[in-house]
Amino acid sequence: MRPATLEFLKQRFAEYYRTCYLSPPSSLEQREWGFIFLDASTDVRMRRHMAFSDQRELVDYVRNMVPAHVYYSSAYYRTPAAPTMNDKGWCGADLIFDLDADHIMRGPYAAMLARVKEEAEKLIGMLTDELGFSRRDLSVVFSGGRGYHVHVREIAVRGWSSQERREIVDYVRGTGIDPAVMLAPAGGTPPAGWRRRYLDALREHLMWLRGLERDEAKAHISVLKGVGEKSAANFLDSLDRFIADLRAYRTDDIWRDRTVRAIAAAEIEFENRVRDLGARADEPVTTDIKRLIRMPGSLHGGSGMRVVPLGAGDLAAFDPLVDAVVFGERDVKVEMKAEMTTSLCGNTYALKKGITTVPEALAVFVCCRNVAEIAGEAADGS
């Protein structure tokens, strides 16, 4: 990163931190803090094992040091500034789910943000409707980059081990589903949660098979273990009945069919359907009881956007490419390293390689993403 670009970003970040309100997490004095600073070096180094006694001390540090990234521990410690993890004295940790668009799809930034927002809404629904958490105990945070963090602040979960946290993330992801349990006769009980999702996915899959040419469908399923051509033919003859049963959530006859069991056990397309119904939360983040997570209200050094805290009910109306943008519209001259099309503040920009003039908010964004430099020597963009 050129000196002019580095100075431009430092000035913009410093301006933001001079006037913004930074709301620290609960029990601030029990949290470990970590910072990454704006630096021309390509080596990313974090300054961590830090602690603050109160909000004023934290805010003064951020305003004086102007970090690119601000993190705090999901864990509560007796001595958070201790230099080793063993010496800190773990007292519990918030339960946090991380949803990152990079783990879900590739594509234009706006499309990735829209997709990961869907996953966040799906996760919130599972946590509240199926796992019994109250929306009052959930907070959603746009990471400022490519995803969302969902924090569960219920005191009862703070003492959970990594294994207990793994069980809950396995549930929301749909990991380890037993087809025999999903397809077992329900005795007239309306299905809910994963059982309902699973049966819906199977019905959609059978409808997809019915839409194929018969020879194509037969070839598709006859390669499954334990399914020969005769079994495949019999199965295809029964498709309409199976689909009708699944629409009514009747499974008494379905599990007895050899081909259905083979599809449930090893059919890749069906596995993908089921996986898509889960929430794509990052398992290592949820199971890590000593994780550092981004501080709401801080800036993301890879985008220049704000890490935005939201209520669980505010997510639907939130547009990160508008609501997380904190910089203005004054003209700034940048030199693009390559062509790029991106959206910001309700506008779409088709940027070509070379020198161009863009709004300040976009200049911060492309410089933080290292796809542009400030043109010339003036850090103020003049």
Q: Which residues of the chain have pLDDT under 50?
A: 378-382
Select from 290, 368, 265 the least CA-distant residue to 34: 290
User: Hey, which residues does 333 pair with through a beta bridge?
Assistant: 357
Instruction: Kindly report the length of the chain.
Output: 382
Residue 172 main-chain phi, psi, to 5 deg: -70, -30
Give the residue carrying structure tokens 């001079």: 18
User: Taking the domain 21-174+281-319, which CATH number applies?
Assistant: 3.90.920.10
Does residue 232 sit in helix, strand or coil? helix
**Could you state, in order of their start, the residue ranges of all structural domains in the chain?**
21-174+281-319, 179-277
Q: What secondary structure letter does DSSP report for 377?
A: S
pTM of the model: 0.89
Residue 36 main-chain phi, psi, to 5 deg: -120, 135
Instruction: Indicate left, alpha or beta for 376 from its phi (over 0: left) and psi (-120 to 50: alpha).
Output: left
Catalytic residue numbers?
98, 100, 282
Does residue 353 sit in helix, strand or coil? coil
Residue 234 main-chain phi, psi, to 5 deg: -60, -40
- CB count within 10 Å of CB 272 equals 11
Does residue 72 sit in helix, strand or coil? strand
- CA distance readout (Å), 26 to 62, 74, 176, 306: 18, 10, 35, 20
User: Hey, which residues does 70 pair with through a beta bridge?
Assistant: 35
Q: 71 CB contacts (<8 Å, ≥6 apart)?
A: 33, 34, 35, 46, 48, 292, 293, 294, 295
User: Hey, which residues does 205 pair with through a beta bridge?
Assistant: none
Give the residue carrying structure tokens 């397309």: 269
Are 103 and 281 in contact, with CB atoms under 8 Å apart?
no
Are 33 and 58 in contact, with CB atoms under 8 Å apart?
yes
Are 253 and 261 in contact, with CB atoms under 8 Å apart?
no
> Exposed, middle or buried, 317 (CB in 10 Å: 0-12/13-18/19+)?
exposed
The predicted structure's pLDDT at residue 321 = 96
The predicted structure's pLDDT at residue 103 = 86
Are 368 and 377 in contact, with CB atoms under 8 Å apart?
no
The predicted structure's pLDDT at residue 104 = 87
The predicted structure's pLDDT at residue 252 = 84
